[in-house]
Structure 1
Amino acid sequence: MQRPNHILPLIVLSQFAGTSLWFSGNAILTEISKAFQLQQDGLAIVTSSVLIGFITGTFLYAITAIADRFKPSVVFFISSLLAASANLLILLPQQDFLLLVLSRFFVGFFLAGIYPVGMKIAAEWYEKGLGKALGYLVGALVMGTAFPHLLKQSGWDYNWKHVLLFTSSVAAAGGLIIYLFVPRGPFYKKGSSYSFDAFKNSFRFPNFRAASFGYFGHMWELYAFWAFVPVILNIYTKQNAAVMNVPFWSFIIIAAGAIGCVAGGYITLKQGSAKVAYAGMLVSFCCCVLSIFSFALPPFLFLFFLLIWGFAVVADSPQFSSIVAQTAVAENKGSALTIVTCIGFSITVASVYVLNRLFEQFMQSPYVLLILAPGPLFGLWKLKPLLKQKTFN
């Protein structure tokens, strides 16, 4: 079956539309905190509730094998509608803190039916070139992660309620696009019934374990780095009396990862996903180690260093997902992708918490960034055997 040219752009567009519910929440946190009169602890709860919801959702989606038992486009569509509805809960007339937390929690919960399921849909259409396809997919998500920083520096005067209405509409439209225009791919396998064993069945295979552990090491570093890019820039400007547009450069540094994802996807066509993932992780590990010297650099070299780190830190992500998809048990591919994502984001919660506490305790010393290095180092160790295996692409 010949793959239509519109399939990948529609998957990327719909995936970005759905996950915009998460990104937009980051963009309007300041406005939400003012509207609901949140203290710092309340703001932290709201911020983490989306991530906790996502972890909970990915776990339940995985153990119930929803993405394998039902048509993925239907799961994606329904999840998009439910996430869009949850996003609008805080617009109800009787607003309170509990409703705000529940709204963000269920946005995260139903994103579990969008992000990993979108990768499952892509895997049904790509047997060869999956790494390239996921490079575009994850690249779009990276741009979405960076986008709130661009909004902050733009000075655009926007109404946070209108942002919620707009993103909910876009997410629902994205789900509808998948449902109407992206049918079953030629490489799908009939899924298994309800089972707690989807992940365990795939985990019996060494290549799947290697890719999964590599991804877990990658996730220890990735979101902690992204979360603290503005902090790192602010610390540098204070210590070096430098003038710097922090929101703008935060956007540029994080968005550089989108280029890394897409470029890595093309390189996989010749080198394979394992080599690309290994190279990206090796560069980001070196950046973790060299970060202790970065604050002594002049501004242009400091920014160049962070751009390299931003480029490499996520370039391996789509390739890990590609290898996981290719090595998982075919009948449990959706569940395997979902549970690996669940574990990865759980690790993220721990790394962000640890890095934050260390920054507070050690007076924002650049040496704190060394705590990120064990993640990619562990990932490199686990991924190395795949370099000798057949080419995954």
Structure 2
Amino acid sequence: MRTGKTFAVSMITVCQLMALALWFSATAVLPQLRSEFGIGALQSSLFTSAVLLGFVLGTVTSAILGLADRIEPRRFWAASAMIAATANILILVVPVDGIVVILLRLITGVCMAGIYPIGMKMVATWSRGDTGFLVGLLVGALTMGSAMPHLFAVAVPLDWRYVIMTASVTAYIAAIAILFVHLGGTPGRSPRFDPKMVGKIWANKPLRHACYGYFGHMWELYAMWGWIGLFLYGAFSDRVMDNPGVWSALSTFAIVGIGAFGSLAGGYYADRIGRTTVTIAAMIVSSACALVAGGLSDAPIILLIVVCIVWGISVIADSAQFSSCVIELADPHQVGTALTLQNAIGFLIALVSIHLVPVVADQTGWWGAFAMLAVGPVLGTIAMVRLRMMPEAIQLAGGKK
């Protein structure tokens, strides 16, 4: 990439990373919140799921109203980051175990719809035949941004409030910085959502199976990201380790954050050996990790961490490829509706699994809870194998299935 492009894309990626830390800022300090306020399983789940629900509402609203086309992208992004950062920092002045904090998390999620997709839109202005890599870069930023609050929890360990403050401050800085980023051209119009197309899209069998694969992936992804930290906190505490909170936060940062490299690798290889090949391989590995990880809480610590790191890489490596499949399989005028539909249903499915994990964990332990997550990638693998066998699969990745 030439210098101007390299700097602009790097700036957008860094700003994305800084702002997306808001997504899991409250989730990262759940062990402290549960200890200090006695927060139960339902309230703990809502700290993550409210953001997902907000993201669905924000994405669908933005697509229907065409906000991404009506508002200059840098200003849209900056305003969204400012509002999200404010909603996040207001957590410090409301009862943590009340409904208002969940509403603030919902607002944060709505604003994420003005950050993550709009960041993609801005990066796309610099695309010159390297869209796959750039999309992988932004998914990597989402992954690393989701991991950052766990690092904040170690860097500012005196009080969970400092973690919340740090996440908001970094988002405020990103909101200002993004206004000085140059775009590589005039952003293209965002595909609009048209409810009338839903039936036609769902009648497209190959496209439907690509969505099925994504749904299985989403059943696992956010539930794993949302609960792996608490699982590790318990595993380290059971070993009577000093500072289990520090070790669990550092481990969670590594496990989630390393997924950024998995995302980049997934995008790189999907363009070269095929999208179904990469998604099938990633889901087989992640489902295997989900089946065994919860049963390793008493295993040697190195084995536990290695399995979780492999899980962290594989659980996100395929994520961007499901959207790529939709783009390549859908009629051009249906792409916007197909992507919105895929994402909305996928995130709603994630809401269910996030809330089920603590319920199942209370009944069967972490093994049963994480094994339940393996159902998603197993079904997703079946869907992608079926897609691979269809004649239309030749449309994927320039003929590479």
Above 0.5 in TM-score?
yes
Number of the residue aligned with 2:204:
205
C-alpha separation in 2, matches of 1:208 and 1:8 = 30
C-alpha separation in 1, matches of 2:241 and 2:33 = 31
Number of the residue aligned with 1:172:
175
Number of the residue aligned with 1:54:
55
How much has 1:298 moved relative to structure 2? 2.5
Number of the residue aligned with 2:316:
314
Number of the residue aligned with 1:366:
367
Distance 1:242 1:162, change over 3 A: closer
Of 370, 391, 394, the match for 1:389: 394
Number of the residue aligned with 2:109:
108
Indicate the larger mover: 45-54 or 218-227. Answer: 45-54
Distance 1:29 1:96, change over 3 A: closer
How much has 1:336 moved relative to structure 2? 3.6
- Unaligned stretches of 5+ in structure 2? none
How much has 1:343 moved relative to structure 2? 1.7
C-alpha separation in 1, matches of 2:44 and 2:123 = 36
1:79·1:113 contact (CA, 8 Å) conserved in 2?
A: yes
Number of the residue aligned with 2:25:
24
Indicate the larger mover: 135-144 or 222-231. Answer: 222-231
SS at match of 2:23: helix
Number of the residue aligned with 1:195:
194
C-alpha separation in 2, matches of 1:218 and 1:224 = 11
1:146·1:250 contact (CA, 8 Å) conserved in 2?
A: yes
How much has 1:214 moved relative to structure 2? 0.9
Q: Give runs of aligned pairs for residues 163-312 of structure 1, distance below 5 A.
A: 163=166, 166-173=169-176, 175-177=178-180, 180-185=182-187, 188=188, 191-192=191-192, 195-197=194-196, 199-200=198-199, 202-237=201-236, 245-291=247-293, 294-295=296-297, 297-312=299-314
Number of the residue aligned with 1:378:
379
2:23·2:109 contact (CA, 8 Å) conserved in 1?
A: yes
Indicate the larger mover: 331-340 or 318-327. Answer: 331-340
Residues 199-222 of structure 1: CA deviation (Å, up to 9, x unaligned): 555444334322222111001011
SS at match of 1:314: helix
Distance 1:271 1:68, change over 3 A: farther
SS at match of 2:395: coil
Indicate the larger mover: 307-316 or 208-217. Answer: 208-217
How much has 1:257 moved relative to structure 2? 1.0
Distance 1:122 1:183, change over 3 A: same
Distance 1:247 1:21, change over 3 A: closer
How much has 1:318 moved relative to structure 2? 1.8
Aligned alpha-carbon RMSD (Å): 3.8
* One-letter code aligned to 1:330: P
With normalisation by structure 2, the TM-score equals 0.79
How much has 1:253 moved relative to structure 2? 1.5
How much has 1:340 moved relative to structure 2? 2.1
* One-letter code aligned to 1:212: C
* One-letter code aligned to 2:395: K
Distance 1:182 1:206, change over 3 A: farther
Number of the residue aligned with 2:353:
351
1:18·1:174 contact (CA, 8 Å) conserved in 2?
A: no
Number of the residue aligned with 1:9:
10
Indicate the larger mover: 280-289 or 383-392. Answer: 383-392
How much has 1:45 moved relative to structure 2? 4.8
C-alpha separation in 2, matches of 1:96 and 1:282 = 38
Residues 246-276 of structure 1: CA deviation (Å, up to 9, x unaligned): 2221221122211211222222342133322
2:81·2:172 contact (CA, 8 Å) conserved in 1?
A: no
Residues 171-215 of structure 1: CA deviation (Å, up to 9, x unaligned): 42255256x535435xx46745x7323555544433432222211
* One-letter code aligned to 2:176: A
Indicate the larger mover: 129-138 or 153-162. Answer: 153-162
C-alpha separation in 2, matches of 1:47 and 1:226 = 9
How much has 1:284 moved relative to structure 2? 0.8
C-alpha separation in 1, matches of 2:10 and 2:297 = 40
Q: Give runs of aligned pairs for residues 149-160 of structure 1, distance below 5 A.
A: 149-157=150-158, 160=162
Q: Percent identical across equivalent pairs? A: 32
Indicate the larger mover: 48-57 or 199-208. Answer: 199-208
